[in-house]
Amino acid sequence: MTDLYHQLITKLDTLVADKPKRWVVALSGGVDSCVLLDLLARYQTQFGGHCVAVHVHHGLSPNANAWASRCQSVCQPLNVEFKLEKVDLGDIQGESVEARARDARYQALAKHVQADDVLLTGQHSDDQVETFLLALRRGSGPKGLSAMAEKMPFGQGQLVRPLLNVSRHAIELYAKERNLTWVEDESNQDTRYDRNYLRHQVVPKLTKRWPTIDAAINRSARLCAEQELLLDELLQAPYERALADDGSLEIGELEQHSEALRIRLLRMWLERQGALMPSQAQMSQLWHQVAQAKLDANPQLILNQGQIRRYADRLYWLNKHQDISSWRGGLSLNTPLTLPDGLGELELIESENGSLALPHGACLEVSFEPQGLMAHPNQRGHRRKLKKLFQEYGVPSWLRRRTPIILCHDEVVAVAGLFVTRAYAGQQFELVWHQKHVFVPKS
């Protein structure tokens, strides 16, 4: 029998140093993911651990509901928890379907990857060849030609591709030997899509002419990946000099470098924000129209996953976010309040060295809507509208409705990270905002 199981054990031992809280399998229902699920179910039986399978329902095929049901039925006898995620791709046409579906799939999967979880996907060596050739067609550099990584950060955990060195033939052979069943996506035969055209028309001809070309391409991809890792290591020091405490990039520091090095630092920054790499034209636009715009301008570059803004000689990455201006939540002592849209937690704790005092029985509420509110910061000599105070403290415009405002009967008590008002200044309590990056006000 095809010895994929022992290969999986070896690969997971190599790629995953610490036992994860959960194994999360991306289960499309195709042969690759069904084989991966079967392998992991065997692994779970032998070594323990919790396994979750997530099926993303795109709704693109008339068979989508049947595929979801099939995936659920496969999980039950394997003692694997099943999760269904439905996504709406909207009105899309042509080649953009591939990219939109892929982005939506990974965004849906990220919802199920918690801290210390490992997401497993079933891409194999044939997929790697196709990805390399697609990058070559786009004129990608070493980063694009490194194709898919075996391991990378993903969401709050990691993404691991344990079958990346396994051929499609070996996967299909294992599936037949184990009497597995799977679904066939009819769109995989549609050669209007570039990946399918490569799979059915190009790669077979290349393989017939050069039987070992798949191994050669995979080797080239690994070499490109190694070069990329080396570059990142060598450029870590200038990258850290350009990186501000709040995760933004100092434009003045970038200006000290050559164009090639500057672009590399920008790409490092965007990659670490989890952004898809902009095109060469977009990178030029980023520097010349955003970073180098006039000081009184409010430039921005809109990308698929978010946007890049400039403020006070820094570049900021903004993920797509919700309008939370109408959100309100109660804040109690020593009880962390989870803020909406990934803004972290807010906590009120007792502290002899705090900056906040409250009357007995005070009822606090958190809001993100500054409209109509006024405040008198303890260290300031005047009372002003919050809109003006945000400007004085140098808060970028896009953060002004994403900064927690603490209210007591609609009176401003404090603005998290900025100030406590004079009426509530004291040393009884400390307000702590736990967030990934902390905005540092200019005054």
In order of 172, 273, 337, the CA distances from 176 in angstroms are 6, 41, 51
| DSSP-assigned beta bridge partners for residue 352 | none
The contacts of residue 397 (CB under 8 Å, 6+ apart) are 298, 311
Q: Say whether 443 counts as a known binding-site residue.
A: no
- The 8-class DSSP code of residue 156 comes to T
Q: Say whether 187 counts as a known binding-site residue.
A: no
| CA neighbor of 404 nearest in space, from 390, 422, 388, 391 | 390
Match 């394997």 to its residue by tokens. 78
The contacts of residue 339 (CB under 8 Å, 6+ apart) are 329, 345, 346, 366, 404
Gap between the Cα atoms of 315 and 306, Å rounded: 13
Q: Say whether 61 counts as a known binding-site residue.
A: no
Q: Say whether 28 counts as a known binding-site residue.
A: yes
179 and 7 Cβ atoms separated by less than 8 Å: no
Give the tokens for residue 192.
């209007």
Q: Say whether 125 counts as a known binding-site residue.
A: no
Q: Say whether 31 counts as a known binding-site residue.
A: yes
| CA neighbor of 435 nearest in space, from 371, 340, 351 | 340
In order of 179, 198, 277, 351, 381, the CA distances from 387 in angstroms are 66, 55, 35, 30, 17
- Please name the helix (run of DSSP H) or strand (run of DSSP E) that holds residue 250, with its range, or none: strand 249-250
Output the known binding site for ATP. 28-33
Output the known binding site. 28-33
